[in-house]
Amino acid sequence: MSMVHLSRGNLTPPSEHLRSEVAIVCELARAVLGPDHPVPWEDLRADYDRIRDAIADVVPGCTGYNARVRQPDGFQLPHPPRDSREFPTTTGKANFSVEPLQWVPVPAGKLVLQTLRSHDQYNTTIYGLDDRYRGVKGGRRVVFVNPIDIAALGLSDGARVDLISEYTGASGELEERRAEDFLVVAYSTPVGNAAAYYPETNPLVPLDHTAAKSNTPVSKAIVVRLEAGTSAVERSEEGTADG
């Protein structure tokens, strides 16, 4: 829809040490690029209006960003294909390409995990614990698994498990990462594939596993195994597991 709206946080930060995403990015930039870098990172961190002014200087359609975003309905960005059926291509038309599908092999006894967002989530900002898309309410530490895989792995819908990613590290040795205590939810994912929310599953993504061209983390194809974790077993024995 290309609509730009102003948003403002209403919740009290849970800690004085909690930093905004802007603060984290600006601190990283200054640490990596040095204090003499021409971009005024501290100024941008101190006043977000300065970020919007910088965007207005370089992004088409964002002229007067700060004034326009404060209008009741915000403003709409230009979109040539939508507005005038114009395409900035050599042919002046929309160009389509075809690429062969490459399936990630699923090792026996394992699943290929993709990380995703819930309905009440925008990027890494979480607004609630419900997901109307998938019928989940009151929690985010869930893993969606096809019923066939649940049976094949000897699990049950509602079981508590740990997620363990397996990958070959820089040393050539098999290494593991673990995210604890997830509720198994039977869902119509493809057989051999599972899904869970991020950032809860970010620890499972190896830092050196990135896409060949974009260099982005391979967060949609993480080989994992599911196993009952210590915390899950203890809770079950105490009779407090909420499966």
pLDDT for 145 equals 98
Residue 57 DSSP SS3: helix
Beta carbons of 127 and 207 less than 8 angstroms apart: no
Alpha carbon dihedral 73, 77, 83, 89, in 10-degree steps, equals -170
pLDDT for 55 equals 96
Beta carbons of 92 and 86 less than 8 angstroms apart: yes
Residue 46 DSSP SS3: helix
Residue 27 DSSP SS3: helix
pLDDT per residue rounded down to tens, the chain (243 residues): 788 988 877 778 889 999 988 999 999 999 999 989 999 999 999 999 999 999 999 998 999 999 999 999 999 999 989 999 999 899 999 999 998 888 888 999 999 999 999 998 988 788 889 999 899 999 999 999 999 999 999 999 999 999 999 887 777 888 899 999 999 999 999 999 999 999 999 999 988 888 888 888 888 899 999 998 655 444 444 433 333
Alpha carbon dihedral 35, 38, 42, 44, in 10-degree steps, equals -160
The CATH code of the domain at 111-238 is 2.40.40.20
Is the backbone of residue 37 left (phi > 0), alpha (psi -120 to 50) or beta?
Answer: beta
Residue 21 DSSP SS3: helix
Residue boundaries of the structural domains of the chain: 111-238
CA Rg, the chain, in Å?
23
pLDDT for 149 equals 97
Beta carbons of 155 and 229 less than 8 angstroms apart: no
Measured on CA atoms in the order 63, 67, 71, 74, is the torsion positive or negative?
A: positive
